[in-house]
Amino acid sequence: MTIEILQDSPDKVRETEDAATREARMPSSLVAHFGPDEPLRLDAGRALSPFQIAYTTHGTLNADKSNAILVCHALTGDQYVASRNPVTGKPGWWSTLVGEGKPLDPSRYFIICSNVIGGCMGSTGPAALDPATGEPYALDLPVLTIRDMVRAQAMLVDRLGIDTLFAVVGGSMGGMQVLEWAVTYKDRVFAALPIATGARHSSQNIAFHEVGRQAVVADPEWRAGRYILEGTRPHKGLAVARMAAHVTYLSEAALQRKFGRNLQDREALGFGFDADFQIESYLRHQGMTFVDRFDANSYLYMTRAMDYFDIAAEYGGSLAEAFRGTRTRFCLVSFSSDWLFPTEENRAVVHALNAAAASVSFVEIETDRGHDAFLLDEPELFDAIRGFISSAARLRGL
């Protein structure tokens, strides 16, 4: 068993000080290394080896190792679920949910959050060195799937000596991982909490991801993916991708309420192409700050993994068949104004679970905050999670 504090990661290129390299130098994550004897089998039909997983933990694993909760992050998330993010300096992305007295309380549970395979915050991704060439993988890293991510997490959970996770929790791409866990490791998940997600990526969602990918690859600084080696960064393309995606995380009603047609720092229209409207400044800011913390190739891999996600595909198109035999307790949560993963997508999972005779509860939360609601201060979400986790904990004897 090799678990060590990540101080200096050898498989990172460090010519320029970007997010991945800053993180690699920060002793803020744990990291698990998997050597040549422990390859990660990939859906692409190849294996990834060696590889590493960066992760954080909160709380203490109890004696019978029954109180572990795995939190799965979304597309641009990371392992800093409840601790200060060393790259952005901001609090953990779900520190509203994970902490003392909060629904996921480290004084009761052992909480694990790992950067997904393909990511850019310390786990092996396209910026890592390919042992075959000694250069960053770039696009030579095989395309990854949600199941690959989950398979890597299972190897981490094995490494931590945990047989069955008390709960797996996540929203959006994190929710996809939760569903994949419940299907692929049926006996290893006591309770599953997929939030704002679906069992497959819709045509429209693929379309928006494709726009983002094309924005990245249209940037000449992307250099066919070899930008790290060539000392460039496709910041402009990645910023456009983020802007396009960000609109889809919100809702028309929330945008109208928050920004409407309000002007930015001016009393009248400027009759130019500077940001006249607050919504324009807001989006530009989202794009600009994103490129400081995220790797462009990782963005390609993460979006591709989501696009490939379609649980029923391997079960003759039957989602119920995928869940057949499960004894996991499920709670699904959707948001009424989420148009990336609308309630009906979540409900389709609920129906399949019903058909598979699973234990399942479902909450649709009324809000105008769109898909992003799962990351925001939504009391109803916290109440739902607290209620479900407490009840499952009683059943589990915690």
Is 267 a binding residue for its own copies by CB under 8 A? The answer is: no
Contacts of 280 (CB under 8 A, 6+ apart): 264
Out of 94, 190, 227, 308, name the contact with its own copies by CB under 8 A: 308
Out of 60, 260, 357, 377, name the contact with its own copies by CB under 8 A: 260
Out of 18, 78, 276, 378, name the contact with its own copies by CB under 8 A: 276
Q: Estimate the crossing angle of helix 203-218 against helix 296-308, to 10 degrees.
A: 160
What count of other Cβ atoms lies within 10 Å of the Cβ of residue 173? Answer: 23
Out of 3, 269, 357, 395, name the contact with its own copies by CB under 8 A: 269
Is 279 a binding residue for its own copies by CB under 8 A? The answer is: yes
Nearer to its own copies, 211 or 320 (CB): 211
List the interface residues with its own copies, window 368-387 (CB under 8 A): none
Task: Determine phi and psi for 41, rounding to 5 degrees.
Answer: -75, 130
Out of 84, 90, 261, 327, name the contact with its own copies by CB under 8 A: 261
Q: What angle do CA 62, 66, 68 make, to 5 degrees?
A: 85
Q: Shortest Cβ distance from residue 233 to its own copies (Å)?
A: 13
What's the CA gap between 175 and 166, in Å, rounded? Answer: 16
Q: Closest by alpha carbon to 156, among 304, 56, 290?
A: 56
Is 263 a binding residue for its own copies by CB under 8 A? The answer is: no
Is 277 a binding residue for its own copies by CB under 8 A? The answer is: yes
Q: How far is CA 25 from CA 7, 11, 50, 56, 92, in A?
A: 5, 12, 20, 15, 19
Tokens of 367: 């809000």
List the interface residues with its own copies, window 203-222 (CB under 8 A): 203-204, 206-208, 210-211, 213-215, 217-220
Q: Among 50-58, 182-190, 268-276, 320-328, which window interacts with its own copies (CB under 8 A)?
A: 268-276
- Clarify whether 172 is annotated catalytic: yes
Tokens of 384: 């739902």
- Residues present in the chain in total: 398
Tokens of 258: 């928050």
State whether residue 69 is helix, strand or coil.
strand
Question: Where on the chain is the footprint of its own copies (CB under 8 A)?
Answer: 43-45, 139, 142-143, 200-204, 206-208, 210-211, 213-215, 217-220, 236-237, 239-240, 243-244, 247, 250, 252, 255-256, 258-261, 269, 271-273, 275-277, 279-280, 283-284, 287, 300, 304, 307-308, 310, 339, 342
Return binding residues for substrate. 242, 372
